[in-house]
Amino acid sequence: MTNLFDTLLGNWVVLIVLICVGSGVITSIAKQIRKYGCHRQEVELKRDLVERGLSVDEVERIVAVQSASTKRDSTS
């Protein structure tokens, strides 16, 4: 195990590439987890609205307004 660390420390290019690739993978995983969380939240909202007795058209309008306001808030 110490030989692996000695090899990585001896070769800076490999170490830098390994750090960049690792950070890219971690960032990608975090984005996917966030997307999944947002999707689940939207599905729960739609189910809640349907359980309250709203029609499909009303649910679509509410979700569209919420999506537009979320996009506007995230850009400012």
Stated pTM of the model: 0.63
pLDDT band for 65, please (50, 70, 90 cuts).
Answer: confident
Per-residue pLDDT at 13: 79
- What pLDDT shows up at residue 16? 87
62 within 8 A of 54, measured Cβ to Cβ: yes
**How many Cα atoms within 13 Å fall on the side-chain side of residue 70?**
9
Question: Please, is 49 exposed, middle or buried when counting C-beta atoms within 10 Å of its C-beta (0-12, 13-18, 19+)?
Answer: middle
- CA-only gyration radius of the chain, Å: 22
pLDDT on residue 10: 74
pLDDT in the model for residue 52: 93
In angstroms, the CA 53 to CA 41 distance is 19
pLDDT tens for each residue of 2-43: 677 777 677 777 778 889 999 999 999 999 999 999 999 999
Average pLDDT over every residue of 66-73: 73
